Structure 1
Amino acid sequence: MLASFFATFLIGLREGLEAALVVGILVAYLTRVGRRDALPKLWTGVGLAVALALGIGAIFTFGAYMLTFEAQELLGGGLSLLAVAMVTWMIFWMQKAGRTLKTGLEGGVDRALRGGVWALVAIGFVSVAREGVETTLLLWSMVQSFGDSPSALLGALGGLMTAVVLGWFIARGMLRLNLGRFFTWTGGFLVVVAAGVLAYALHDLQEAGALPGPFGAGAPIDPTTGAVAIGWAGFPFGWAFDVSSTIAPDSALAALLQAGVGFMPAMTWLQVIAWAVYIAVVVLLFVRGVRATRRPRAALPVDSPASAFGGASSPAATTASASGASSPTVAASTPSSAGSISSPASAATAPAAPHPSGATAAP
């Protein structure tokens, strides 16, 4: 369906673009220092990381068929919780480490060049494996929750392919993209998606019997109907609500709501509480982090992560943009908004700096 396709497409696009920018930084730095001979080793590490992500996805997909129903639900719930934890950590990590990511990657490359062949393979592997495993877990969890595997997988593949193309255009200076705004908006979307995955994970764990809920013997029973209680009568281990008669679980509206906000026609109290608490806490911290990265900062040196690397539209410039931070150095180079990638022409025509005596000095 369109809902599951769009949700997984956006996730694949965001996560794939992060990985593409990291690889772009590594490739650009090796080229700049005249070590293009080391690129095959880097690409070997990147290829191994992609193979690891695909292998994990295949094991989870086909290995689950050999398990009992309870074991499948337990596996699905546990992996979904792991995906939520990884996604949440990566969202806040990007807010804090985005401004220094370029420097850290280049320092790792310098050390790897002195450490031999396997060191460079390792840095390529580690730089991409983190994104790959996180993307695999999140997409696998979403495919399981949607129950519409073809559309969800097609959306994820489309998002990843689009990310690769965009990353190549950005690295070549052929595309200007406000990555700060892009990662901010998609980060907010991922928070809502992660809340939905968390709710579905608890549903799986309740079905497996790992958590108390309406599927176990301890579920509260409505004395009138003899079924599991719904509403306040079902608190805390019954159904919070059940609108399946109004919104069919297999309808397009149900799929759209689940892909967008994690809504299911029937949700338990544990699901609703976990969803609400996650949204309340994580959204507050996320908004606070966005505001912190947009506060005015002192001008950074030309070779800092927030300035253009090799001029324009380079991966390094996109790294600073990914954090959403606004740098006076970049802002002086281009009239575009914070987080945009400046061009070489605009950087070369930056306004002259004022001299302490009042005169104007050439940059």
Structure 2
Amino acid sequence: MNWSAALPTFLITLREGVEAALVVGIVFACLQQAEQQKLHRWVYLGILSATVASFVVGLLLNLGIQGLQTSEYIYAPVFKQLFEMGLGVIAIAMLSWMLIWMTQQAKFLKAEIAGSVKSALEQNHKAAWAIFSLIFIAVFREGLETAVFIVAKFSEGWIPVVGAIAGLSMAVLIGMLLFKWSIRINLQQFFQAMGVLLLLIVSGLVISALRHLDAAVVAFSQINSTVHHTCGLDNTSCVLGPLIWDLSGILPDRQFPGILLKTLFGYTQKLYLVQAIGYLLFWVIVGSLYFRSLSQPTQLNPATKPN
């Protein structure tokens, strides 16, 4: 069984979960200071509702893929590959935005959440709904990003889901260490290290998304014989250009350690020109924005009581 497929979802769920745990912990601290413990149940309800909503979205997306895979419609194989490519692109965009945005906004996180809770409590009879909405949006945003990534990786079976559960459990433990037992953790270093790992994982999605695009063109060319002769001559892909390397005999991506490199960093035993260009462009654009954001001072360690 390929347990290495659990590592990317574990890391992403861990990071997303810790981010959500920060929001939840700060809200709890604000409510505690305002002596509004009666609203705690709305926080728990927001967490539960957002988790269920994220699961439902992921389930619907997966059902869409399964439906296309079993469909007898002649162009179903083409649409399946395009659908998976679209999920990959969405996951790349959402996770890249999350990495850069969170790094830039981290120093304002505590103040912004404390201000939102204060505004919610000023609404009197609507305070419960305002607290619920705040928690739901924060947790659902993280859950949606994770769900899209898991579905994009679901071709590897249920193992990524196991990694997601483990990552979520670890995030809950870190949240309890921070806010229940007041154990200090250097969250700035944690998020920086996780950010670099997530950049490596997301950059691998670029290669995967382009592979699905090529597979869609191949499927289309097999259905339409009129374009079949234009696709994939010798070592040239349909849309990915010429083959740069073929390491299938030296480092196959279905055996260890190649499968681990593929799972974590997007390694592929066959790399084409367009994939290499896309990979480099991702690092030039997203990577440079992320590392530039790290130069800004942050204050990620939350106090148990808001200012």
Is the pair's TM-score, using the shorter chain for normalization, greater than 0.5? yes
Offset of residue 6 of structure 1: 2.5
1:180 and 2:188 correspond: yes
Q: State the secondary structure of the residue aligned to 1:209.
A: helix
Offset of residue 124 of structure 1: 1.4
Offset of residue 205 of structure 1: 1.9
Letter in 2 for 1:260: L
1:229 maps to what in 2? 236
Give the TM-score normalised by the residue count of structure 2.
0.85
Offset of residue 37 of structure 1: 1.0
User: How do 1:1-363 residues align onto structure 2 when only pairs under 5 Å count?
Assistant: 1-67=2-68, 68-115=76-123, 116=126, 117-144=128-155, 147=156, 149-209=157-217, 217=228, 218-219=230-231, 221=233, 227-229=234-236, 237-293=241-297, 309-310=303-304
Offset of residue 172 of structure 1: 1.6
Structure 1: runs of 5+ lacking an equivalent: 222-226, 295-304, 318-363
Give the TM-score normalised by the residue count of structure 1.
0.73
Change over 3 Å in CA distance of 1:210–1:81 after alignment to 2 = farther
Offset of residue 93 of structure 1: 0.9
Offset of residue 91 of structure 1: 0.8
| Number of residue pairs aligned between Structure 1 and Structure 2 | 292
Change over 3 Å in CA distance of 1:251–1:140 after alignment to 2 = same
Q: Decide whether the 8 Å contact of 1:235 with 1:269 is kept in 2.
A: no
Q: Decide whether the 8 Å contact of 2:240 with 2:275 is kept in 1.
A: no
Q: Decide whether the 8 Å contact of 1:15 with 1:131 is kept in 2.
A: yes
Offset of residue 97 of structure 1: 0.7
More divergent stretch after superposition (266-275 vs 17-26): 266-275
Q: Decide whether the 8 Å contact of 1:3 with 1:256 is kept in 2.
A: yes
Structure 2: runs of 5+ lacking an equivalent: 69-75
Give the root-mean-square deviation of aligned CA atoms: 2.8
Q: Decide whether the 8 Å contact of 1:81 with 1:201 is kept in 2.
A: yes
Q: How far apart are the structure 2 equivalents of 1:242 and 1:306?
A: 44
Q: Decide whether the 8 Å contact of 1:22 with 1:127 is kept in 2.
A: yes
Q: Decide whether the 8 Å contact of 2:185 with 2:301 is kept in 1.
A: no
Offset of residue 76 of structure 1: 1.0
Letter in 2 for 1:253: P
Q: Decide whether the 8 Å contact of 1:54 with 1:136 is kept in 2.
A: yes
Q: How far apart are the structure 1 equivalents of 2:287 and 2:254?
A: 29
Q: State the secondary structure of the residue aligned to 2:250.
A: coil
Deviation per CA, 1:71-121: give whole Å up to 9, x if none. Answer: 221111101111111111111111111111111112112222234032222
Q: Decide whether the 8 Å contact of 1:9 with 1:157 is kept in 2.
A: yes
Q: State the secondary structure of the residue aligned to 2:153.
A: helix
Q: How far apart are the structure 2 equivalents of 1:202 and 1:169?
A: 41
Q: Decide whether the 8 Å contact of 1:213 with 1:268 is kept in 2.
A: no
Q: Decide whether the 8 Å contact of 1:78 with 1:201 is kept in 2.
A: yes
Q: Decide whether the 8 Å contact of 2:81 with 2:212 is kept in 1.
A: yes
Change over 3 Å in CA distance of 1:20–1:50 after alignment to 2 = same
Change over 3 Å in CA distance of 1:177–1:310 after alignment to 2 = closer
Change over 3 Å in CA distance of 1:308–1:90 after alignment to 2 = closer
Give identity over the alignment, percent: 26
Offset of residue 229 of structure 1: 3.0
Q: How far apart are the structure 1 equivalents of 2:201 and 2:281?
A: 14
Q: Which has more radius of gyration?
A: 1
